[in-house]
Structure 1
Amino acid sequence: MAKHLLTLESDYDYDLIGICCHHSDYRLCWSLNEALQLGLKKAEEAFAVSNKKGSVVSTHSFYDYIDPVENTEYYLIKNKSEGKYLMPEKQQIDYFLVIRENVSVDIDDLVTQMKTISTILTAVIFDPEELKSADKLIF
């Protein structure tokens, strides 16, 4: 009998920016909103990470905004919470900005603007396909 192997490839259809910042999440959110004319607001529920059995392993601070004109979605997620990392391979990163449905925002220009914000130490673009934990950001 022939064996068939089914492989699933994840489609990472989002842009990912890592942010290093020593300030609290709400202060970073306010700074991003002011500098980039966003409307990030704290979500009603935290971003929960579950294990394979379905039980919640950790929850992370989560802010979201959907641009009403461009329909671009922005999500700001704290990397470390309760001693656990959302992306363990990027422990030096404090926050991740996930941008979905992006058709008009130039990510390089956005990062350049972010680096001018005084509360941000640095901002780095990541390719989600190169990160082991990138599946956690598919929601």
Structure 2
Amino acid sequence: MASVKLELDTQNIIDSFFDETKLLGIVTTVKDYRFCWNLNNMLGLNFRINHDIEIKLVRKKRTYFFSVYEYREPHSALCHYLYNNLYDGEYLLPEFKNLDFLWLMKNDTVTEDYLDQIKIMLRSIPGVQLVTELTNEKIKNKEYLIF
């Protein structure tokens, strides 16, 4: 009897996850816990590490854990996720080796004005060197951001 190889089509899951999202790339000289502390104190946010959605990847016969910080805006469906792009010399998204963090906003509409305000506030944080908007088309490994 011939064996049948089944393949999981993840494209619909990926498309659904990234529907109406905004993504920022951030370069900073500050460690993740200090960066989140700055975000919370200087911008009035409440990012907290969420171990339940931590990204676990196996590469080169090693396991890597990429922390994800989460902030849910009160009285809104908008959720903010801050991904650490580097763990123990390995990158979550190797195509963005120059970025330290990825900030994903989803579950509600993010206007261009709101996004511009976030970028301006991020640039005011000590140690932040670059803030750039990323389009979904630029991300080669989108599935790594899905939890």
Taking structure 2 as the reference length, the TM-score comes to: 0.77
Aligned CA RMSD, in angstroms, stands at: 2.4
Q: Which residue of 2 aligns with 1:109?
A: 117
Instruction: Identify which of 119, 137, 142 aligns with 1:129.
Output: 137
Gap change, CA 1:56 and 1:123, over 3 Å in 2: same
**Deviating 4+ runs (over 4 angstroms):** none
In the TM superposition, what whole-angstrom CA distance separates every residue of 1:61-112 from its partner, at most 9, and x where no partner exists? 2211111211211111110102211110000001111111132552122112
Q: Which residue of 1 aligns with 2:3?
A: none
SS at match of 1:26: helix
Q: Which residue of 2 aligns with 1:99?
A: 105
> Does residue 58 of the first structure (1) align with residue 97 of the second (2)?
no
Inter-partner Cα distance in structure 1 for 2:131 and 2:110 = 20
Task: State the identity as a percent.
Answer: 27
Q: Is the 8 A contact 1:60 1:77 kept in 2?
A: yes
Inter-partner Cα distance in structure 2 for 1:24 and 1:15 = 23
Q: Is the 8 A contact 1:46 1:60 kept in 2?
A: no
Structure 1: segments with no counterpart, 5+ residues: 1-5
Shift of 1:7: 9.2
Structure 2: segments with no counterpart, 5+ residues: 1-8
SS at match of 2:120: helix
Q: Is the 8 A contact 2:55 2:68 kept in 1?
A: no
Number of aligned residue pairs: give it.
131
More helix by share: 2
Q: Which residue of 2 aligns with 1:3?
A: none
